[in-house]
Amino acid sequence: FGLGIHGEAGAQRVEIQTAQNTAIACLDYILDNSETRNYLPLETSSVVLLVNNLGGTTNLELNILIKNAIEYLETKSISVVRVISGALMTSLEMAGVSFTLLRIPPSDTIFISSLDAPVSSPGWPRNFASTGHTPILPETQSEDRSQVYDATTPQAESLVGVLVAACEALVRFEPEITRFDQIAGDGDCGKTMERGARAVLDRLGCDDGEWHAIGIPLDDLSATCAALASLLEDEMGGTSGALYCIFFDALAAELQSEPTLEQLAQALDAAVKAVQKYGGAKLGDRTLLDALIPAIAAFVEKINETGDYGKAIEAATDAAAKGSDNTKDMDAANFGRASYLIGGGL
C-alpha cells in the first residue's frame, strides 16, 4: 500500500482488500487533516476525482473503484463534479491504481471549463461528470400478477397437466441441457430454460401438490399463450426467452378461444414461421427448429389426414425426436453460440 512507480517500498504491507476498502483507505490518506498531514484542506465541497490505472488494472476493476470512491466522498458531503480515469501515469503493467483529488473553488470559472476543453493528446481520457446524487429511474407499469383464474373446467385441468409436465421435465433435465450447452454454447441454456419453467410453475400456484390460485388464464387458449409469452419474456432472458415469446405471441394472435384441431394446426404453423422470420434460422441450420419444424409439419399433416388429435401428437413427437437426432450428422451450426465452433467441435 503506497508503492512507488519505480518499485519503491510501500507505506505499509496489507492483505488484499476489497475495492471499496481500497478506495476508502486511499481517500482517507488524502483527506487526513491531522497536524502531520493535512495535505488537502477542503474549504469547498466540490472536487475532481482522478483515478489512475498504473498499467495492469482492468477497466472493470477501475470502474468499480471509481464508483466506490464517489460513494465514499458523498458520505463526507464532498461532491465529485468530474471524474478523470485512465492509464495516465503507469509503471509498465503494474496491477494497481492511484487516486488524486483536485479542489474546485466555490466561485470557479476556470478549472472545470479548462478540464472540459478539447485536447489533441491521445492519452488524455474524456472526462465524465457526476451529478452528485443517485439518479432515480422512472417507474414502469408492471403487469398485475395478483389476478386468479378459474381452473375447474376440463380444458383448464388438462392444460395444467400439460404445463406442469413440460415444466417439471425442463427442471429435471436442466443439468443435462447445461452440459450440452457447455460443450456447444455458453453454458447457460439449461438454467435459462429452468428459470422459465419455474416461473410458469410459480404462476400456476402449487402448494403441497395441489394447484390453486392459478395465475394464468386456462379457459381461453389464446389468452393462455399470450400470458406465457409475457411471462417468459420477463423471466427467461437471453435469446431463447425472446424466441419463445415470439412463438407464443404468434400462437396467441392466430388462436381462438376454443380452436378446432385444424385451426390449432394452422396456428402452430404460423407460430413456427414467425420464429423463422425474426430469428432467421431455417431447417438444417442446427437449431431447435430442426426438431420443431418437422414436429409441427407432422402434426398439421396428421390432423388434415385423420382429424385425430392423439395420432397427431404421436406423429409430432416422433418427428421431433427424428429431427433432433438428425442434427448429430450436421457438420456445423449456422445460428446460435454453436455457430462459433469449427466443424469437429460439434
C-alpha grid cell, residue 195: 428459470
- Among candidate residues 19, 34, 20, 25, the one with its CA nearest the CA of residue 1: 25
**Rounded-to-integer distance, Cα 123 and Cα 111, Å:** 20
What CA–CA distances, in Å, run from 192 to 145, 172, 235, 248, 310?
Answer: 21, 13, 9, 17, 30
Amino acid at 26: C
User: Are 86 and 123 within 8 A, CB to CB?
Assistant: yes
DSSP 242-271: HHHHHHHHHHHHH--SS--HHHHHHHHHHH
**Rounded-to-integer distance, Cα 110 and Cα 167, Å:** 64
Amino acid at 34: S
6 is catalytic: yes
Q: Of residues 5, 6, 105, 174, which has the active-site annotation?
A: 6
Task: Please list the residues that pair with 206 across neighbouring strands.
Answer: 211
The angle that helices 189-204 and 221-235 make with each other, rounded to 10 degrees, is 130
C-alpha grid cell, residue 7: 518499485
User: Are 185 and 336 within 8 A, CB to CB?
Assistant: yes
Give the angle subtended at the CA of 198 by the CAs of 192 and 203, to the nearest 5°.
130
Element at 112 (helix H, strand E): helix 111-116
- Enumerate the active-site residues: 6
